[in-house]
Homo-oligomer: A and B are copies of this chain.
Amino acid sequence: MKVVSAIKRVPESIKNHFDQQFKQVEFIFCHGIEEAEPYLSEADIFVTYGEDLNPERIEKARQLKWIMVLSAGMDKMPFREIHKRDILVTNVRGIHAQPMAEYAISMLLQVSRKAKTLIEQENKHVWNRRPVMNEVSGRTMVLLGTGAISQETARLAQAFRMKTIGVSRSGENKDHFDETYRVDQLNQVLPQADFIVAALPSTKETQYLLKNEHFQAMPEHAVFLNMGRGDLVSTDVIMEAVKERYIDHAVLDVFEEEPLPEDHPLWNEENVTVTPHISGISPFYMPRAFDRFGENLHLYLEGKEEMHNKIDPKRGY
């Protein structure tokens, strides 16, 4: 059995660990898809970040039975061809939960506690205690999505004594939410939100889900944070929301176009904070991702059906 990995810069310690743990498996660790391409035809299992596959490569990979995606974003996967060939897809859903929850709490604290102003003052050697500090404690967070990332964010928010409201397709109750609602109830819950945190994947149902009316339904002091996918809301809608002061601030880690072009108006907007899609970055990412792969590989080799984080190629998540 052959495993081909297109993940760049895999530490030797991880490679050795897999070679020793799975003696019956041959691992071909490649530095990116170009290096991996010649081996695709022999691969039983392909390990990828999910951004390097296309219909031609799926066709080329004649033996392929399983794609292990070491990422949670699946929007660049050629699911039609994958589905046709009945190839199993698993990902590392939930692996981003910890750094992304930290990102969300960190950025809400940054905005509430006026970090930009304090840093500017520090650069100018200005001792000024006037910037109005706010607490995040005791406020209400509405989370769009109730998956692993939102749950971990809600868990931390509850530690800060926040009320947490989750919004999902089903409205099903999940851990760490004080209340949960269905997406069609969104306009009812938004007026309660001090913070709105979006951690949704890009699907037909979430693309451009948030419109003008939603931002108008939020309180004027609300902070909107998007760390899911940039196509949840158009730039125009966000620009209007902050310019017309429907909300106080938008924190954006994801955009319709990435990298965000240098001349894009969002960069200059005072009430928008732009970060370069870094919410999920963690020094522990690769070891955690390969740990997940290892667990699934054990299950696969034992012929178990119960592998973690199987993807439905029809839904794309």
Give chain A's interface residues, CB within 8 Å of chain B: 98-99, 102-103, 105-106, 109-110, 113, 115-116, 118-119, 121-122, 125-129, 131-137, 155-156, 159-160, 258-260, 262-264, 267-268, 273-278, 281-284
Contacts and interface: CB of A to CB of B under 8 A. Distances in A.
Majority secondary structure, A binding face:
loop
Contact of A159 (B98, B119, B156, B262): B156
B136 A102 contact: yes
Contacts of A113: 102-103, 106
Contact of A127 (B126, B160, B259): B259
27 contacts: A98-B135, A99-B135, A102-B135, A105-B105, A106-B106, A106-B113, A106-B115, A110-B110, A115-B115, A115-B119, A118-B278, A122-B267, A122-B274, A125-B267, A127-B260, A127-B262, A129-B277, A129-B278, A129-B281, A132-B283, A133-B278, A133-B282, A133-B283, A134-B282, A134-B283, A156-B159, A156-B160
Contacts of A126: 262
Contacts of A109: 102, 105-106, 109
Contact of A276 (B98, B127, B274, B277): B127
A5 to B, nearest CB: 22
Contacts of A116: 119
